[in-house]
Amino acid sequence: MVWVNMLYIWDGESPALVCGAEHDPVAAIVLHASVGDIDTVTVEGKIRKRGGKLVPVDVGDGKTMEWNEVAKELLVSRKRIENEHQKLDFAAATAGVMQLFQISPETLVDSV
């Protein structure tokens, strides 16, 4: 098992947390907080979010990427995955899984 050291610091004065955090900080975070209320995040000792903004990501060779560049790469990756997904034969996959687990088609229902 791999453990990752992460630390989150919430802005206790954000509109969603200001009063609740004064009374019960844990309940305020669990019940009312969103990602926008997180001020700082560290992962394995490296700051990933500071002042509510994502910081540039080190991609090696002394190069960094800003979030907008990461987002563009994610969209390219998403499109590639979607194109691969379109090639899949889900009927054949379903039949294979049913055969593997010895599930009879007569025992399945489409909806309840």
pTM value is 0.62
The residue range of the domain holding 111 is: 57-112
Q: Are residues 26 and 63 in the same domain?
A: no
Q: How confident is the model at residue 88 (pLDDT cuts 50, 70, 90)?
A: very high
Indicate the number of domains in the chain. Answer: 2
Instruction: Compute φ and ψ for 61, nearest 5 degrees.
Output: 55, 30
Which one-letter amino acid corresponds to residue 57?
A: V
Other C-beta atoms closer than 10 Å to the C-beta of 17 total 20
Provide the pLDDT for residue 23: 94
Q: Are residues 85 and 100 in the same domain?
A: yes
Q: Are residues 31 and 65 in the same domain?
A: no
The 10s digit of each residue's pLDDT in 26-75 is 999 999 999 999 999 999 999 999 999 999 998 899 999 999 999 999 99
Q: How confident is the model at residue 108 (pLDDT cuts 50, 70, 90)?
A: confident
Length of the chain: 112
